Structure 1
Amino acid sequence: MNELKKLAKEMVWVQDGLKKETLTELDREELNEEHERITNTMLTKGYSASLLVQYMEEYRELGLGDYQAWINS
């Protein structure tokens, strides 16, 4: 499994969660903590931010049956 692609998927979920209008303050705080965890993981492992953004865009465009092949490539 490609770890950066996994982080990209998680970041998409976080960003989508932060866009919700009915988000409680506790939920917003938890999502911000998750965002920080992902960012710290990227920094400590030396991952490319531009590649993360590319993978986030790819993830958003995946069909249901395409995920497994994508995450393992």
Structure 2
Amino acid sequence: MSEETFIRLMAELSLNQTELVHKALRNLAKQVLPAYEQDDGPLSDAQHLAIKKQSSLDISEDDVDSPLFK
């Protein structure tokens, strides 16, 4: 990036050098870094059973896999 472009961005966004660099790095981090740690994949049958045992609700298998909003 040229110095001229950097200066134009500072003027356009009303930011100083530090603020502009911080904003650029934050945007890059959002694009590149995952928002959360990768999980271990789908739950096993044993994990589903353990959750069902600990839950006091009687939920059918169809309801467990249904979308929150229909």
TM-score, length-normalised on structure 2? 0.28
Which structure would you say has the larger Rg? Answer: 2
Higher RCO (C-alpha 8 Å, min separation 6):
1
Of Structure 1 and Structure 2, which has the larger fraction of its residues in helix? 1
